[in-house]
Structure 1
Amino acid sequence: MSTQVASEPLDFGVLLNVAFGAFKQQLHRHLSQAGFDDVGPSFGYVFRLLLAHPSSLREVAERLGISAPGALKVVDDMVAKGYVERSEHPRDGRIKQLTLTSRGRSAVEAARSFHAKFEQELVQRLGISDVAAARTVLEQMVAHMSDAELEAGLRPS
């Protein structure tokens, strides 16, 4: 595929966006083939949070920078699809603690497997030095960001 339209090269930011879109399409195709064909667009963000530690709905909303009703909608969908479960909070019975189910952990593992495979396939096609250089460029693009800015970039937009 050419990275040009009407003989004009794509702007760098546009190219990054198109490449990310292609990556996401392949990731969702991989997840679907692995039995996770019902993963919603915000699930990955919640997976990442709950993999680190169980959280309350309020914590999920705050970490994702969305309203509690918005977080509830995503979490309810994840619960209905078997990725997340609610349980009593160990210190406060009024709070529901959210954790990944074994299906949720399996979906995360399938996604991580895809990430590794994708990068390995790039290495096979382009060579390790080109892929390492691409990774260095991407890392440098975010190196100036504060922890809060980087975390905000890990949220749904």
Structure 2
Amino acid sequence: MSVPVGLTIPKLLPITGTFALPLSAYYIFLQSRVIYHRIQTEKNIQQESSSSSSSDNEYDPLRAAIRAQANFNENVPLALALAAVVELNGGSRRVLSWALGSLVVFRVLHADVGLMARDYTGPGRPIGYFGTQGFIAGMAGYAGWLVKGYWGF
């Protein structure tokens, strides 16, 4: 389908679309770090990263990288979906921009200043965790508030 000359079609999700780039780039970084540590330790996908005799609390950069990537995978898709719902229902672009910018910071803090720390418990881990959970709860609440009229409230 072609668009007539002079007619512009509005972008449906410009804010969410903008933050899809840094979040996707960071995910690629997390994924690449897992591959890097797999190559360094010569461990394939079917092998444990640490020997069975080592303690579960002993620092293993491969384990930390895998956990950081998995945690991103567990949280960011829902966060972006909620942001899209808010944006499509007329949420404030300023609020959404600040919130998504904060989400990027929370995810980096959680992984790089938290999980990748020598004992898996760097100061960024709780900040990133609670910040991400706050983002998800906040966006879900905001999304519900934006459509409250639909339900007669």
TM-score if structure 2 supplies the norm length? 0.31
Higher relative contact order (CA 8 A, sep 6+): 2
TM-score if structure 1 supplies the norm length? 0.30
Q: Which has the higher helix share?
A: 2
